[in-house]
């Protein structure tokens, strides 16, 4: 099972589902092999694929692998997941999909800082660091990881969703009114 052949097989399959192939790993797992496929995509909000997107793609990947000689005859376990926050931001699309998130950045010169991604282009990203904007060429980034925030700042879009939720009556509220 060669990773390059798997990439060539799965790239077009994922493209049909609006997803990008981010990584492929083939790992020994006892008498079997673990085929780990990491996918990414814009999703409906531009922030990554939904669970249903990944489930649909997983079924298509499974069919493609079963119909192809790429995996050989040895048994394997297929694992398909999204990038998650533990994978580094490396490509412009990774940065774009994480606008608004807090990231820890280490530059090629050894500087380290944490800031919120406010804009992301093909070659430059803008971070809000301690109240000021800082443009950084992606070529200057040696490592960048999304930081998990338990108390993430509110955004206008999230406030609008809360307002919509307030307008929806639940069954309990309807019963109380009768």
CATH number for 138: 2.30.30.100
The CATH number that applies at residue 66 is 3.30.300.70
* Strand ordering across the sheet containing 19-29: 19-29, 32-41, 76-82
Q: Are residues 56 and 117 in the same domain?
A: no
Residue 167 belongs to some domain of the structure: no
Same domain, yes or no, for 98 and 43? no
Nearest alpha carbon to residue 145 among 100, 96, 98, 86: 86
Q: In 43-101, at which residue ranges do the beta strands (DSSP E only) sit?
A: 76-82
Query: Could you tell me the residue range of the domain that residue 138 belongs to?
Result: 92-146
Count the domains in the chain. Answer: 2
Element at 174 (helix H, strand E): helix 171-177
99 within a domain of the structure (yes/no): yes
Q: At what angle do helices 51-67 and 3-15 cross, to 10 degrees?
A: 130
Note whether residue 177 is domain-resident.
no
- Identify the three-state secondary structure at position 136: strand
Per-residue pLDDT of the chain (178 residues; tens, 9 = 90+): 688 999 999 999 999 999 999 999 999 988 899 999 999 988 777 777 889 999 999 999 999 999 999 988 889 999 999 888 889 999 999 999 899 999 999 999 999 999 999 999 999 999 999 999 999 999 999 999 999 888 766 655 445 444 444 444 444 444 444 4
Position 75 in a domain: yes
């Amino acid at each position: 099972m060669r990773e390059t052949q798997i990439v060539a097989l799965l790239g077009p399959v994922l493209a049909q589902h609006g997803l990008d192939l981010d990584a492929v790993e083939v790992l020994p797992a006892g008498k079997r092999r673990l085929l780990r496929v990491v996918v990414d995509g814009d999703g409906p909000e531009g922030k990554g694929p939904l669970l249903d997107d990944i489930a649909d793609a997983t079924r298509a990947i499974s069919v493609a692998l079963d119909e192809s000689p790429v995996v050989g005859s040895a048994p394997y376990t297929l694992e398909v997941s999204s990038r998650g926050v533990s994978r580094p931001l490396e490509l412009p699309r990774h940065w774009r999909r994480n606008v608004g998130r807090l990231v820890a950045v280490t530059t090629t010169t050894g500087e380290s800082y944490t800031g919120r991604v406010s804009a992301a282009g093909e070659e430059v990203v803008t971070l809000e660091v301690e109240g000021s904007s800082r443009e950084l060429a992606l070529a200057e980034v040696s490592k960048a990881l999304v930081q998990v925030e338990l108390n993430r700042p509110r955004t206008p879009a999230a406030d609008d969703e809360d307002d919509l939720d307030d307008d929806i009556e639940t069954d309990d509220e309807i019963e109380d009114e009768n």
